[in-house]
């Protein structure tokens, strides 16, 4: 299988070719997460959302059965989303199967899609498979996702690898999109990723050069 057939995964992620899809980071689902500390998971998905916003990367956010089963999006994430960001509530297990979610993703015009969700093996993985089938390059930020047991995590990771989904961590994906540490947005991105030492080192270096 050549690189074109694989979907161009060796092409770098850029702020112009990627969108971020956040699936079901809801209070009810988060309460069952066991493979990563919930506080750490919230920190990571909030950082992903903030960094994407700093780079003007489109965000699509969705919940499932928010009023009847799994509750609202975690308030920390709601606060981190860009002003006016719509959260699309749906009933389908696979977010891609909801016309509004799929159309919102396609409307971004981005070929590369970063997914994160709770649970990892369903809410992040299933739309990633569908995105692959639709011709996108699909990535999953594994540390901005969580699930309900170590077994489910391991099985989900294996299946995604077998399907051709690229697995990574949220900060690497966003730093790849940043691309240039001299970019005006670099400070905001590293601050969003909770890496203030990067900004501090830059300030010290600037002061030394002066």
Residue with tokens 């009933």: 91
Select from 123, 7, 2 the least CA-distant residue to 70: 123
Active site residue 123: yes
Confidence of residue 4 (pLDDT cuts 50, 70, 90): very low
Instruction: List pLDDT tens digits, range 19-32.
Output: 999 999 999 999 99
Distance separating alpha carbons of residues 124 and 115, to the nearest angstrom = 6
pLDDT confidence of residue 16: 97
Instruction: List pLDDT tens digits, range 26-53.
Output: 999 999 999 999 999 999 999 999 999 9
What are the b/e assignments for 104-135, b being 16+ CB within 10 Å?
A: bbeebebbbbbbbbbbbbbbbbbbbbbbbeee
- Statement: residue 5 has pLDDT above 70: no
Residue 89: strand, helix, or coil: strand
Confidence of residue 9 (pLDDT cuts 50, 70, 90): confident
Average pLDDT of 145-157? 98
Catalytic residue among 23, 77, 122, 123: 123
DSSP 113: E
pLDDT confidence of residue 124: 98
Domains of the chain, start order: 16-179 (3.40.50.850)
- Contact between residue 128 and residue 99 where contact means Cβ atoms under 8 Å apart: no
């Amino acid at each position: 299988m050549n690189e074109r057939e694989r979907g161009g995964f060796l092409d770098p992620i850029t702020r112009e070719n990627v969108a971020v899809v956040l699936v079901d980071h809801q209070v009810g689902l988060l309460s069952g997460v066991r493979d990563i500390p919930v506080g750490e998971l919230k920190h990571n998905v909030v950082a992903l959302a903030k960094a994407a916003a700093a780079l003007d990367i489109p965000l699509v956010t969705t919940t499932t059965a928010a009023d009847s089963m799994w509750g609202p999006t975690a308030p920390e994430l709601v606060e981190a989303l860009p002003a006016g960001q719509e959260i699309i509530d749906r009933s389908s297990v696979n977010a891609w199967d909801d016309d509004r979610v799929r159309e919102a993703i396609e409307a971004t015009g981005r070929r590369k899609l970063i997914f994160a969700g709770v649970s990892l093996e369903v809410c992040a993985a299933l739309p990633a498979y569908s995105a692959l089938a639709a011709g996108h390059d699909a990535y999953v930020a594994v540390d901005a996702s969580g699930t309900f047991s170590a077994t489910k995590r391991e099985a989900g990771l294996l299946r995604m690898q077998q399907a051709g989904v690229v697995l990574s961590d949220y900060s690497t994906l966003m730093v790849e999109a940043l691309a240039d540490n001299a970019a005006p947005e670099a400070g905001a991105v590293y601050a969003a990723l909770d890496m203030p030492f990067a900004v501090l080192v830059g300030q010290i270096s600037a002061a030394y050069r002066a």
